[in-house]
Structure 1
Amino acid sequence: MNLSRPIAVIAALFFLLTEVGAITGRALYGPILTSTDYITGSGADDRILWGALFELLLVIAAIGTAVTLYPIVRRQHEGVALAFVLARLVEAVAIMIGILSLLTIVSLREQYDGSADPDTLSPVGSALLALHDWTFLFGPNFALGAASVLLAYLMYASGLVPRAIAVLGLVGGTLIFGSAIAVMFGAYEQTSAPGLLVALPVFAWELALIGWLLVKGFRPASILTTSAA
């Protein structure tokens, strides 16, 4: 019985959940990310709460990819495999901080009764949005880039997936990590055309990995027959 086949499918499903959670959560957050007076405005709290729920699924799935793959990829290189797990954990923590920053804005809006000065609350909302923007940079960019490079290296060295897919991960992870540095120093906005364009290779890497693991599973490799001990 090929015991690695269920692991490949579970890992692919976790990766798929990360894509669904990230894209859906970001789309649902639209009203709070583009409003300068969300706390004192009409708001769209239910939509933001749904966005937070989808991002919570993203956090669970991101950790799930690491936990699921670690027993396999550690047989190739335990140190790199552990670094991959830690990178995904850092990504998850950053995303959680971002979720909490937006939920804090929602709570302030729900408690606003009109007595407080809007000019006082506006900087508070702006500060929380700025915190979310930084977590979005450090989580789904710096940490994701690092995790993608580490996992792609393990896949390339072990031959668990076709090397073309692994190379796509190496390139995509490096590009999005470099893009995060460019955004940090003000070269362009994270959600601008250049930022989205640079993110396409890492998105393609994850889709290719999902498709291969779901349809084919792991390729025959020596590490699959190596004792986990």
Structure 2
Amino acid sequence: MSDQVIARTVGVLFIVGTVTAIVGGSMVLAIEHPGALAAVAADHSRVVTGVLLELVLALSVLGIGALLFPVLRRRDEGLALAYAGVRTLEAVLLMAASVAALVFLASGPGARAVGAVSRAPALVLALREWTYLSGSMVLLGVGGLLLYSLLFRASLVPAWLSLWGLVAAALILLRGVLELAGLDLPGGWQAVLAAPIAVNEMVLAVWLIVRGFDVSGAGVSRVLRR
């Protein structure tokens, strides 16, 4: 595959990943709130659909890391390998979170009824929470910092897009660390910390699909580094 074909394919995968993360995550979120178990029982297929979308998300993350590796390794093999590794681990954690959601639903006859949260294994829910937060926020942020550092240094996309990505990745990483530490962030702050990376990935996706990589190496970031 040429670099430009890879760019367009990765752009599509970024869109698939963002859409499935938002839609799938919102569908599965109900299992984490005891008050919503009645709704989950009434629409069990909704949660299963959300899990399937999360699995698509994990596969898209894996695909992005694998496809970008040959392009990025020509700029910095060490960072490229680190990025591919982080994205692989992120995909594994997202798959584990999805499986945990299915295990919770299938944990017993009462798992689909009101009050089932008290009978379902607490460790399964804890596994779901920790793996999803670690994958969808912490490793997403770490991977974003690696990716946009490489894109900026190699001038593969405009400097403003890379710099935006670095800030957005730092914000989602901060949110993930805070939530893993047990801090219950208000909804407004959650949105403030998560929205920049979601919008940035959509802009990056469109840019890669329409323009591809700047393989000439004459990008704006090279000018800024002088």
Q: TM-score, with normalisation over the residues of structure 2?
A: 0.85
Structure 2 match to 1:202: 197
Q: 1:138 aligns with which of 118, 131, 134?
A: 134
Structure 1 residue 188: deviation in Å? 3.0
Structure 1 residue 27: deviation in Å? 2.1
CA–CA separation in structure 2 for the residues paired with 1:142 and 1:10: 25
Structure 1 residue 221: deviation in Å? 3.0
In 2, are the aligned partners of 1:158 and 1:221 still within 8 Å (CA)? no
CA–CA separation in structure 2 for the residues paired with 1:174 and 1:106: 34
**Structure 1, unpaired ranges of 5+:** 224-229
1:174 and 2:170 aligned: yes
**Identity over the aligned pairs, expressed in percent?**
28
Any idea what the Cα deviations from partners look like across 1:49-97, whole Å, max 9, x if unmatched? 1111101100110001011111101101001001111111111111111
Any idea what the Cα deviations from partners look like across 1:163-214, whole Å, max 9, x if unmatched? 100001111111211222222333333x732122111221122112101101
Structure number having the greater helix percentage: 2
Counterpart AA for 1:202: I
Structure 1 residue 124: deviation in Å? 3.0
In 1, are the aligned partners of 2:30 and 2:36 still within 8 Å (CA)? no
Equivalent runs, 1:28-177 vs 2, <5 Å: 28-35=27-34, 38=37, 42-109=41-108, 111-112=109-110, 122=118, 124-177=120-173
In 2, are the aligned partners of 1:38 and 1:125 still within 8 Å (CA)? no
Counterpart AA for 2:90: E
CA–CA separation in structure 1 for the residues paired with 2:19 and 2:111: 36
SS in 2 for 1:178: helix
1:187 and 2:183 aligned: yes
SS in 2 for 1:160: coil
Going from structure 1 to structure 2, the CA distance change for 1:113 and 1:8 (only over 3 Å counts) comes to closer
In 2, are the aligned partners of 1:8 and 1:217 still within 8 Å (CA)? yes
Instruction: Give the count of matched residue pairs.
Output: 215
Structure 1 match to 2:221: none
Counterpart AA for 1:46: S
Counterpart AA for 1:180: G
Q: Which of structure 1's runs of 4+ aligned residues deviate more than 6 A?
A: none
Going from structure 1 to structure 2, the CA distance change for 1:43 and 1:134 (only over 3 Å counts) comes to farther
CA RMSD of aligned residues (A): 2.5
Any idea what the Cα deviations from partners look like across 1:138-186, whole Å, max 9, x if unmatched? 0111100000010001100011100100001111111211222222333
Structure 1 match to 2:213: 218
In 2, are the aligned partners of 1:188 and 1:195 still within 8 Å (CA)? no
**Structure 2, unpaired ranges of 5+:** 219-226
